[in-house]
C-alpha cells in the first residue's frame, strides 16, 4: 500500500512515497503534511469506491429531479403530474441520504 499524506491546512490527501513540495489545493508547504497511519490510509482506500458510488447517486438523483420538473411543466393530467411531483420529492430524499452518508465517511476519516 502506498503512503498517504494529509495536508493539515485544507485536508487534501496525497498519495506517494513522500509528501508533495506544496499542497495542490492550498499551496501549503511540505512540512504541513502528516503521514496517515496504515489504519487511516486503509479507511481511505476501502471507502474510495463507495464514495464514488454515492457521488454517482447524487448526480443521478439530480437528473431524475430535472426530468420530473420537465414532466411537471408538461402537466399532462393530474395523476401524471402527481407522479412527477412525488418522484421529484423522492429524488431529493435519495440525494440527501447519499450526501449524509458521504459526510459520515468524512467524519470517520474515510474520504
Minimal CA–CA distance to 103: which of 61, 51, 37? Answer: 51
pLDDT tens column, 42-81? 989 989 899 999 999 999 999 999 999 999 999 999 999 9
Give the span between the Cα atoms of 20 and 23, in whole angstroms: 6
Give the span between the Cα atoms of 105 and 111, in whole angstroms: 6
User: Can you tell me the mean pLDDT for 16-37?
Assistant: 97
DSSP assigned state of 29? B
In the chain, what are the domain boundaries?
A: 1-35, 40-110
User: Can you tell me the mean pLDDT for 20-48?
Assistant: 95
**Sheet (strand 33-35) strand order:** 13-15, 4-7, 33-35
C-alpha cell at 13: 490527501
Q: What is the pTM of this model?
A: 0.76
What is 1-35's CATH number, 3.50.50.60, 1.10.40.30, 3.40.1360.10, 2.20.28.10? 2.20.28.10
- The neighbouring-strand residues paired with 22 are 29
Give the span between the Cα atoms of 46 and 99, in whole angstroms: 18
- The neighbouring-strand residues paired with 5 are 14, 35
Evaluate whether 51 touches 105 at the Cβ level (below 8 Å). Answer: yes
Give the span between the Cα atoms of 10 and 25, in whole angstroms: 8
Amino acid at each position: 500500500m502506498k503512503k498517504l499524506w494529509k495536508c493539515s491546512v485544507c485536508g487534501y490527501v496525497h498519495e506517494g512515497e513522500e509528501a508533495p513540495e506544496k499542497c495542490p489545493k492550498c499551496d501549503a508547504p511540505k512540512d504541513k503534511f502528516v503521514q496517515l497511519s496504515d489504519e487511516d490510509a486503509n479507511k481511505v482506500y476501502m471507502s474510495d469506491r463507495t464514495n464514488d458510488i454515492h457521488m454517482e447517486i447524487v448526480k443521478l438523483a439530480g437528473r431524475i429531479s430535472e426530468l420530473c420538473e420537465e414532466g411537471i411543466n408538461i402537466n399532462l393530467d393530474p395523476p401524471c403530474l402527481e407522479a412527477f411531483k412525488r418522484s421529484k420529492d423522492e429524488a431529493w430524499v435519495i440525494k440527501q441520504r447519499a450526501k449524509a452518508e458521504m459526510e459520515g465517511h468524512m467524519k470517520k476519516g474515510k474520504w
